[in-house]
Amino acid sequence: MRPILLSGHERSLTQIKFNKDGDLIFSTSKDKVVCAWWSANGERLGTYSGHQGAVWTVDVSPNTVLLATGSADNTVRLWNIKTGECVKTWDFPTAVKRVAFSPDGSKLLAVTEKRMGFLGTIAVLDIAYGDGELNNLNVQAEEPSLRITCEDSKATVAGWSYMGKYIIAGHEDGSVSQYDPKTGDQLENVQAHEFDHQINDLQFSPDRTYFITASKDKSAKLISASNLAILKTYVADTPLNSASITAKKDYVILGGGQAAMDVTTTSARQGKFEARFYHKVFEDEIGRVRGHFGPLNTIDVHPAGTAYASGGEDGYVRIHHFDKPYFDFMYEVEREQLRK
């Protein structure tokens, strides 16, 4: 499993996303540049420049036509993936920490920061795809169709459940809540993680019936999207920044590490800068992948489950294509189940 090292960013990575086909990787970093890469060989396809501040988040439309990015310059930008031009800019009062397309690509949510007297919000934007021939992509709604304001604790991450039925958000206080995307009402709120331990990542399973959260409280949890029941808990020994569910195999990948400001010694041993693989069902740790020399900020898995990419505070993206033993590994119990 020789990694491909992508060194196109000058500052720490903030988010990585595979497109639905898995042939492209989009990465954002604090250096204001968004990069697109071929996942197979790590060649850089191009960059999307225009943001005036650190880019916090990226998402690809399901048909790989549009790219949405959110930045510390208080904007969400929509890009034509093919041409690299910015087709739309929305201005917000505060920085945008997370964007996510709905499963059918018709909506985009943006999580805004709580700052300067503005409460944290989740804004929903309607997305149009022009005439289908990549023309008129700049025809987009000006105003969000919905605004959800987080009165109690600001949202840090959010995403869509299957069929776009719910918006699920993770909060700064460690709770997870479920919203109705039509009315914006909060349907449910669960203190999934330890109180006051921020949720740093929230990623859905391929069928979007459940999702995984990664928190500062050193654990990741698998939670049902329909009723927010906690299904599984994965305990690590370091604060977690990211967690991802693998397709094809029943694993989850967690990433984190002591935050740079908390690292007292520079030894890599101390930082625990490793990607950790856990068995999704049995909650056992299976293995670790080393390589980064800073905390892992973001992890994404190839939609087909054949590779994963991690981005670190060290400014590198590492793509790992899984080897045969990865796919062969199986618990005796699973093998039995398969034979049945």
Binding another protein (rule: CB under 8 A), the pick from 12, 28, 29, 61 is 61
By CB under 8 A, is residue 224 in contact with another protein? yes
Binding another protein (rule: CB under 8 A), the pick from 1, 5, 141, 163 is 163
# of chain residues touching another protein (CB under 8 A): 39
Q: Are 282 and 295 in contact (CB under 8 A)?
A: no
Q: Are 164 and 105 in contact (CB under 8 A)?
A: no
Q: Name the one range near another protein by CB under 8 A: 27-35, 115-123, 182-190, 328-336.
A: 328-336
**Please, which residues have CB within 8 angstroms of residue 57's CB and are 6 or more apart in sequence?**
14, 15, 28, 69, 70, 96, 97, 98, 99
Q: For residue 157, what are the CA distances in angstroms to 89, 111, 201, 212, 327?
A: 21, 7, 6, 12, 31
By CB under 8 A, is residue 331 in contact with another protein? yes
Q: Which of residues 134-153 bind another protein (CB under 8 A)?
A: 134
By CB under 8 A, is residue 165 in contact with another protein? yes
Q: Which of residues 70-99 bind another protein (CB under 8 A)?
A: none
The residue among 9 and 17 lying less far from another protein, judged by its C-beta, is 17
Binding another protein (rule: CB under 8 A), the pick from 5, 7, 21, 187 is 21
By CB under 8 A, is residue 233 in contact with another protein? no
The residue among 163 and 187 lying less far from another protein, judged by its C-beta, is 163
By CB under 8 A, is residue 38 in contact with another protein? no
Judged by the rule CB under 8 A, the positions of this chain that interact with another protein are 20-21, 61-65, 103-106, 128-129, 132-134, 162-163, 165, 207-210, 224, 226, 231, 237, 265, 269-270, 281-282, 304, 331-334, 336-337
